[in-house]
């Protein structure tokens, strides 16, 4: 049995049935892009990341959004969350993973689903710059898994940087997700990701010749093959299986000490519901919410053509309640 969901948990509109439709539709109703200010940070290893900020409101809470695979501050969920934060007078920032801000990063490495050290550096710096305001973080899909890995590996130390966190549609079991995306109609999502991942990898080869075999990258037909050739070796893993095992956040959920919402629709095409955790598999401060619908970071609500307001409102309610606890 899935964990009980709150009364205000997500319910899809009747005109948008099914996980695939609920996943794809947000691309058609993502709304206007908020006004953002870009800042570049030099990384300790000689690279850089770009952060997109809402206009600053002194004394207001700060929400940090870690985007998903090949995402950015322009992703539908990022636009909707940033607009909502702006309407409340809250501060918001999207730190882009390396190479995701529209400009290739300098080093061979990029980003991956268990990149807790990168998140640690980002969150520590944000906490030092905004020490006197409530700080919250949410991660979406890959970014959600990375945030959960950071929370689980840092334990009580994570509370120095964040008052609460949320992971949305995180692939908690990377092997389950990878194999699931290689089956049936789900392979359409794999093809979509591989198109941009391969292009980015081949561009990286032009910067750093000899990193991997370009012909083998072009032949990769699934995420396991791509991660085996590119993601794993560039980030210190022995291969896809090692990467997927060590970077999965599900085994770390019992070690989380910061109040954390883990939101996973049970019809998410990326993550089979049978691999989602139950209450006995997580820390007491982790709230599992597993609505029947929602797709992969869909959460469309309202009459046709719909809007994306449910998720930002749910996040702010959770953060507000956690901040008062």
Beta carbons of 1 and 277 less than 8 angstroms apart: no
Q: For 296-324, what is each residue's pLDDT tens digit? A: 999 999 999 999 999 999 999 999 999 77
pLDDT digits (tens, 9 = 90+) for 190-217: 999 999 999 999 999 999 999 999 999 9
1 within a domain of the structure (yes/no): no
Say what the pTM is. Answer: 0.96
Q: Determine, yes or no, domain membership for 49.
A: yes
Check whether residue 102 and residue 193 sit in a common domain: no
pLDDT score recorded for residue 323: 79
Q: CA 173, 10, 223 angle in degrees (round to 5)?
A: 25
Phi, psi of 236 (to 5 degrees): 85, 15
Tokens 């010749």 locate to 209
Separation between Cα atoms, residue 80 and residue 32, nearest integer Å: 9
Q: Which of 166, 124, 170, 122 is nearest to 143 (CA)?
A: 170
* pLDDT computed for residue 325 by the predictor: 61
- Catalytic positions are 141, 268, 296
Same domain for 131 and 146? yes
Q: Is 217 helix (H, G, I), strand (E, B) or coil?
A: helix
pLDDT at 324: 77
Residue 107: the pLDDT is: 97
On the question of pLDDT at 5 being above 70, the answer is no
Percent residues over pLDDT 70 in the chain: 97
Determine the Cα–Cα distance for residues 39 and 285; give it in Å rounded to an integer.
33
* Shared domain check, 186 and 163: no
Quick one: pLDDT at residue 7?
Answer: 59
Residue 228 domain boundaries: 174-247
Q: Report residue 249: phi and psi, to 5°.
A: -90, -20
Query: With bands split at pLDDT 50, 70 and 90, how would you rate the model's confidence at 132?
Result: very high
pLDDT score recorded for residue 2: 67
* Per-residue pLDDT reduced to its tens digit, 270-283: 999 999 999 999 99
Contact status, residue 211 vs residue 107, Cβ threshold 8 Å: no
pLDDT of residue 136: 98
End position of a domain, from candidates 194, 227, 247: 247
Average pLDDT, the chain: 96
- Counting the structural domains of the chain, the total is 2
**Helix H segments across the chain?**
19-24, 76-88, 116-129, 142-154, 174-180, 187-207, 214-219, 223-226, 232-234, 240-247, 310-324
């Amino acid at each position: 049995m899935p964990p009980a969901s709150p009364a205000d948990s997500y319910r899809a509109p009747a005109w948008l049935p099914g996980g695939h439709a609920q996943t794809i539709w947000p691309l058609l109703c993502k709304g206007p892009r908020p006004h953002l200010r870009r800042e570049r940070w030099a990384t300790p290893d000689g690279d850089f990341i770009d952060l997109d900020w809402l206009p600053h409101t002194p004394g207001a809470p700060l929400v940090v959004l870690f985007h998903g695979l090949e995402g950015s501050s322009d992703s539908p969920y990022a636009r909707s969350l940033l607009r909502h934060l702006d309407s409340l007078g809250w501060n918001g920032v999207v730190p882009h993973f390396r190479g995701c801000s529209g400009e290739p990063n300098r080093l061979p490495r990029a980003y991956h689903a268990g990149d807790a050290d990168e998140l640690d550096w980002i969150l520590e710096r944000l906490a030092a710059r905004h020490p006197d305001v409530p700080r919250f973080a949410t991660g979406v899909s890959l970014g959600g898994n990375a945030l959960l890995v950071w929370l689980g590996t840092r334990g009580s130390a994570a509370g120095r940087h964040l008052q609460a966190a949320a992971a949305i549609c995180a692939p908690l079991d990377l092997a389950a997700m990878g194999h699931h995306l290689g089956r049936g109609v789900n392979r359409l999502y794999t093809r979509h990701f591989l198109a941009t991942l391969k292009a980015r990898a081949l561009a990286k080869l032009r910067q750093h010749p000899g990193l991997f075999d370009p012909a083998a990258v072009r032949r990769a037909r699934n995420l396991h093959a791509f991660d085996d050739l590119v993601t794993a070796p560039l980030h210190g893993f022995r291969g896809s299986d090692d990467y997927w095992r060590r970077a999965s956040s599900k085994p770390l959920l019992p070690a989380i000490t910061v109040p954390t919402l883990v939101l996973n629709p049970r019809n998410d095409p990326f993550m089979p519901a049978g691999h989602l955790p139950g209450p006995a598999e997580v820390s007491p401060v982790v709230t599992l919410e597993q609505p029947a619908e929602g797709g992969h970071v869909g959460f469309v609500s309202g009459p046709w053509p719909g809007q994306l307001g449910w998720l930002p409102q749910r996040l702010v309610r959770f953060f507000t309640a956690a901040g008062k606890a």
